[in-house]
Structure 1
């Protein structure tokens, strides 16, 4: 049972993290709060604890058509920007999870607008920015083929990091190619 004290504790943890992130966005803090919060092993523990508190059960939804990340490979231009790249698209597209993972951040940043960061099960950390719609909540467990966001025509920010190293554009393209999802 989710008691009043558990609600209160969860509220304060979220409020403190949100305050620290806001201070980071305003350049008041030199420490990257997002990096600490998004790479902590405790984050997975907190997500599992939250699911336990809410007694959430995993459900599977059958999909009858092909779902592919191949659409992300249709960008018409790419520019290096911050730790990632701005990919330009002439049409809007849905963005799907390439594998299972945990959403460790959803929100708005001054550099990438609506942004979602996912810690995939293989240790890859992927940030999608300049999204038009975010389809998942933070600290949510996601699975391959889950819709995670929507992007209208324009620029999409993508940054991929693994073992502390940010991917080059060529590595991002290879990652997108390997993350293609087709229903069998």
Structure 2
């Protein structure tokens, strides 16, 4: 996060200096900006630095979206596993709480590795397994969209149970869609 702010502040500083110099050259400002920038090399360096940041056409730009379960809907395929499903993801993704609830288990299981189970306020119990990291402790409350873990590319185990019945894949997708719709 700090790097993003540092980058933004640097861009704004360079752009501001370039603007003030242009206004000085046009006679709009009397501020001697060129005297503040000690050498022409400083000015050239700042100008080239600013232009290199602004003229990056081929560089990929990371775009973030609102937090929530929407990314979980982008699985490549699914297969039945134990009481849930193994969902395949081509990229890593953060895992967020679908609703308000209570973390009832965090730990390592034989079949699903690093696993977190949350009982949500509506009575739904969701187990997220094969996580790469866990972000919540057991017996803590979570709010909708709180980060609960991270998953690198690969398989994520997801099991949803309500009223002692495990959801099938279609019901899991519907649940994910409904928790995504609740964000808006």
TM-score bucket of the superposed structures, by smaller chain: 0.5 to 0.7
Q: Is the contact between residue 131 and residue 149 of structure 1 (CA under 8 Å) also seen in structure 2? A: yes
Give the drift of 1:145: 1.2
Which runs of no fewer than 5 residues in structure 1 stay unpaired?
A: 1-63
Alignment-derived partner of residue 77 in structure 1: 77
Which blocks of at least 5 consecutive residues in structure 2 are unaligned? 1-63
Show the counterpart of 1:68: 68
Q: Is 1:88 aligned to 2:88, yes or no?
A: yes
Aligned to 2:143: 143
Post-superposition Cα deviations, 1:77-128, rounded to whole Å, max 9, x if no partner, equal 1000000000000000001111100000000001000000000000000000
Find out whether 1:109 has 2:104 as its counterpart.
no
Q: Distance in 2 between matches of 1:91 and 1:182?
A: 24
2:97 is matched with 97
Alignment TM-score, normalising by the size of structure 2: 0.63
Compared with structure 1, are the counterparts of its residues 183 and 173 closer, same or farther at alpha carbon in structure 2 (3 Å cutoff)? closer
| Cα RMSD for the two superposed structures | 1.6
- 1:166 Cα deviation after fit: 0.2
Q: Residue 116 of structure 1 aligns to a residue in which SS?
A: strand
* Cα deviations by residue, 1:47-89 (Å, 9 ceiling, x for unpaired): xxxxxxxxxxxxxxxxx96213110011001000000000000
- For residue 137 of structure 1, give the secondary structure of its aligned residue in structure 2: coil
Within 2, Cα distance between the matches of 1:126 and 1:183? 18
Q: Equivalences for 1:4-23 in 2 at 5 Å?
A: none
- The separation in 2 between residues aligned to 1:136 and 1:158, in whole angstroms, is 17
Do the aligned partners of residues 101 and 91 (structure 1) sit closer, same or farther apart at CA in structure 2, a change above 3 Å counting? same
Normalised by the size of structure 1, how large is the TM-score? 0.63
| Cα distance in structure 2, aligned partners of 1:120 and 1:167 | 15
Question: What does residue range 26-45 of structure 1 map to in structure 2 within 5 Å?
Answer: none
- CA distance in structure 2 between the aligned counterparts of 1:168 and 1:89, rounded to whole angstroms: 19
Aligned length: 121
Over 3 Å counting, the alpha-carbon distance change for 1:182 and 1:120 in structure 2 is closer
Give SS of 2:180's match: coil
Contact 1:67 1:181 in 2 (8 A): no
Q: Which runs of 4+ in 1 moved over 2 A?
A: 181-184
